Amino acid sequence: MKRASSVFIYAALFSAAFTCAPAAAQEPSPQNGALDLAALQQTAQKRHAEWESLAKDMSDRVSRILPCDPRALAAVNEVSRASEARLAALSDYLRAVSAKAFAETADVRNLLNSEERHAVEASLERADAGQEQTAVDTQSDALAQSVKQRASLEAPQKLLAQIATMIHQRVTALDQHAGSADATVPLLRDLVAKFEARDAALREEFAASEAERARWNGYYAARRTRAQIECTITQIGASQSKGGKQ
């Protein structure tokens, strides 16, 4: 029963994990782990809101400033830093979620390996007990025939009957035990497959996040270069204008 209950515990974990906010942690305590993930998620949301607030009017602010005005480049740098902060916070959160999910998958996989060994052992024990039962039943039948001819064999017959009853009880218990193991293993295999699919999705999400991070960094680098080029062009134009007047 203890092993079977583990299946349902991990099934609950799997359901929670697909929301990308797992409810239990490996160490040191489930509550602390959940709080850590919640804090990382809140930080990521906060950094995103900060970036969004700055980014939505960056173009308008820059368009009202001359290219060589230091405020133009400062505005781009400010939004760039906010962008990097929110993407770094998202990366930290996804990394923590992934680490916890991978640890859960390893635990379920270890439980599956243990249950598979347990199922093999239970099957072997059941086979041995079945052979013992067959042997005792055969001896009981033979002794029952002999008792008809020799009354002195009644005591051994009763003893053998008691032994047969014990073996029958053992076989029944082993049948239930083996049946439980046979039912648990497929459940765990299915759970491992689902956990691995979840882990693959998390890896893809993290890779996509890192790719987006690189694109945004490239975008703001291009905006800084553009601001510098516009300043250079403006200065050249101003110099030519002064030269023409002279």
pTM: 0.64
b/e sequence 148-174, b meaning 16+ C-beta within 10 Å = eeeeebeeeeeebeeebeebeebbeeb
Q: What is the pLDDT of residue 240?
A: 55
Q: What is the pLDDT of residue 119?
A: 80
Q: What is the pLDDT of residue 130?
A: 74
Q: What is the pLDDT of residue 238?
A: 54
Poorest-pLDDT segment among 160-164, 179-183, 215-219:
160-164
Distance separating alpha carbons of residues 223 and 233, to the nearest angstrom: 15
For 49-94, write each residue's pLDDT tens digit.
999 999 988 878 887 888 788 888 899 999 999 999 999 999 999 9
For 85-133, write each residue's pLDDT tens digit.
999 999 999 999 999 999 999 999 999 998 888 888 777 777 777 777 7
Q: What is the pLDDT of residue 8?
A: 36
For 2-44, write each residue's pLDDT tens digit.
443 343 334 443 444 344 334 333 444 556 667 799 999 999 9
| CATH fold for the domain made of 2-245 | Helix Hairpins (1.10.287)
For 167-214, write each residue's pLDDT tens digit.
777 777 777 777 777 788 899 999 999 999 999 999 999 999 999 999
Q: What is the pLDDT of residue 44?
A: 96
Q: What is the pLDDT of residue 160?
A: 66
For 130-150, write each residue's pLDDT tens digit.
777 777 777 766 666 665 666
Question: How many helical (H) and strand (E) elements, i.e. helices and strands, does the chain have?
Answer: 5, 0
CA nearest to 208, candidates 76, 21, 200, 82: 200
159 neighbors 214 (Cβ within 8 angstroms): no
Amino acid of residue 142: A
**Mean pLDDT of the region 212-241:** 84
Residue-range domain boundaries for the chain: 2-245
